């Protein structure tokens, strides 16, 4: 990846870039952007920044203090793989033009502060994060709310409710509720779409480990990114959402990260895998521990479980999030930990016995969360558990 303005200009020149798109995150977690001509890609953009109206961004400034500055992060420069006009994307940090300091309400700044704080207690040097953000791809989405009526309607060519639809012809291959996990095409009608998404993500430098159809009928999918450091993983998740939505739209479909778009079928979670490392050592691993977990990892889990009610404000921030957190759909409904039980808030994957693979999975978050706030909240809750030696209790390895 480019690291200097000169390297970025060289990338832009070699790629035929015409437009530079500057992106930043608002408080609820949506990407915002504006664009400049590539000719304005000068050194001072990366030192002095460019102004914008902070009072028009949710959760930022009031109108009497509206002027704010964006400063691009040079290491995030990528050529957009889906826009028609060649465009260079840059993720930016928000700064106050008076103090010249990073803006306290910029979620990306919060993520950076959390990574810096991790090093202070001496527990670990770095944290790794692997969110599994599920989503649905629909063929039609309609909704309205008026003074005298309200409705929502979603549809998918895969939906089991379309077995009797006159498609001219209807070729079948509809997935029954909760039977969408791993059927091959033609039942899985989104194989090529997901593959196209994966290839586009790779062009952005986002490593993808696997993609597949998920449990829900009507186009539920999952594409798993390779783990990364906290702020970079949050960057990747925003790129992930952007690419999925754009490629779905290209195919005349729409992607949603709404936690529970369908009644009576699985919701879309964002299980967050996390581990702490000191040098080359995974501090969560112990060959003699439960599920190969160290005592440090168990205390980390204790912190997550103790602070779970507060954490959900960041991890499951919408009212719809709580439509998902109900029994019967593989969602976490028990405030406990376990080495295979997917109904527990914390699961410890046991696919591998390698020290490098040992991690914990917090299953409560969903993809409506702002990752720049969610990941730091989880990290600090876990660190509190370690520093205060919070006991998570006994594991829940049975059906409840």
Catalytic annotation, residues: 53, 132, 134, 214, 222, 271, 342, 361, 363
Of the candidates 46, 61, 35, 36, the one whose C-alpha atom is nearest the C-alpha of residue 7 is 46
Using CA atoms, how far apart are residues 281 and 82, in angstroms rounded to an integer?
39
Main-chain phi, psi angles of 204, to 5 degrees: -85, 0
Q: Under a CB-based contact definition with an 8 Å cutoff, are residues 229 and 171 in contact? A: no
Neighbouring residues of 288: CB distance < 8 A, sequence distance ≥ 6 = none
230-250 vs 371-387: helix crossing angle, rounded to 10: 150
Beta partners for 130? Answer: 273
DSSP states along 169-216: S----PBPTT--SSPPTTTSTTHHHHHHHHHHHHHTT--EEEEEE-SS
Whole-Å CA distances, 144 to 149, 150, 153, 323, 332: 8, 5, 9, 20, 31
Neighbouring residues of 187: CB distance < 8 A, sequence distance ≥ 6 = 158, 173, 175
107-118 vs 230-250: helix crossing angle, rounded to 10: 140
Sort strands 254-256 and 126-138 into parallel, antiparallel or unpaired.
antiparallel
Using CA atoms, how far apart are residues 364 and 347, in angstroms rounded to an integer?
10
Structural element, H or E, at residue 344: strand 344-347
Peptide bond into 305 cis (omega under 30): no
Q: Under a CB-based contact definition with an 8 Å cutoff, are residues 74 and 8 in contact? A: yes
């Amino acid at each position: 990846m480019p690291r200097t303005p000169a390297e970025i200009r060289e990338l832009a020149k070699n790629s035929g870039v015409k437009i530079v798109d500057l992106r930043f995150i608002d408080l609820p977690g949506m990407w915002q952007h504006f664009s400049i001509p590539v000719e304005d890609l000068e050194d001072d953009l990366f030192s002095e920044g460019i102004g914008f109206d902070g009072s028009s961004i949710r959760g930022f400034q009031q109108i009497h203090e509206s002027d704010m500055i964006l400063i691009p992060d040079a290491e995030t420069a990528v050529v957009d793989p889906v826009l028609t006009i060649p465009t260079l994307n840059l993720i930016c940090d928000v700064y106050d033009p008076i103090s010249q300091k990073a803006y306290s309400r910029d979620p990306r700044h919060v993520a950076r502060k959390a990574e810096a704080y991790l090093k202070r207690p001496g527990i670990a040097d770095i944290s790794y994060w692997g969110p599994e953000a599920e989503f649905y791809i629909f063929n039609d989405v309609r909704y309205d709310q008026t003074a005298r009526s309200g409705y929502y309607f979603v549809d998918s060519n895969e939906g089991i409710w379309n077995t009797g639809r006159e498609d001219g012809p209807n070729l079948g291959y509809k997935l029954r509720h909760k039977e969408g996990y791993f059927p091959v095409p033609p039942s899985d009608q989104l194989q090529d779409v997901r593959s196209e998404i994966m290839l586009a993500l790779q062009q952005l430098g986002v490593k993808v480990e696997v993609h597949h159809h998920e449990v829900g009928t009507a186009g539920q999918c999952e594409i798993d990114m390779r783990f990364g450091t906290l702020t970079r993983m949050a960057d990747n998740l925003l790129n992930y959402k952007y690419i999925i939505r754009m490629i779905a739209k290209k195919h005349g479909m729409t992607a949603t990260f709404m936690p529970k778009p369908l009644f009576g079928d699985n919701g879309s979670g964002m299980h967050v895998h996390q581990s702490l490392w000191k040098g080359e050592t995974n501090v969560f691993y112990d060959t003699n521990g439960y599920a190969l977990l160290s005592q440090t990892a168990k205390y980390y889990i204790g912190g997550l479980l103790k602070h779970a009610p507060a954490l959900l404000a960041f991890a499951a921030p919408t009212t719809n999030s709580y439509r998902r957190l109900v029994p019967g759909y593989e969602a976490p409904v028990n405030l406990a930990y376990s080495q295979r039980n997917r109904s527990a808030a914390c699961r410890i994957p046991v696919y591998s016995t390698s020290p490098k693979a040992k991690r914990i999975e917090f299953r409560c978050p969903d993809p409506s969360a702002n990752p720049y706030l969610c990941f730091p909240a989880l990290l600090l809750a876990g660190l509190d558990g370690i520093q205060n030696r919070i006991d998570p209790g006994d594991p829940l390895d049975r059906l409840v």
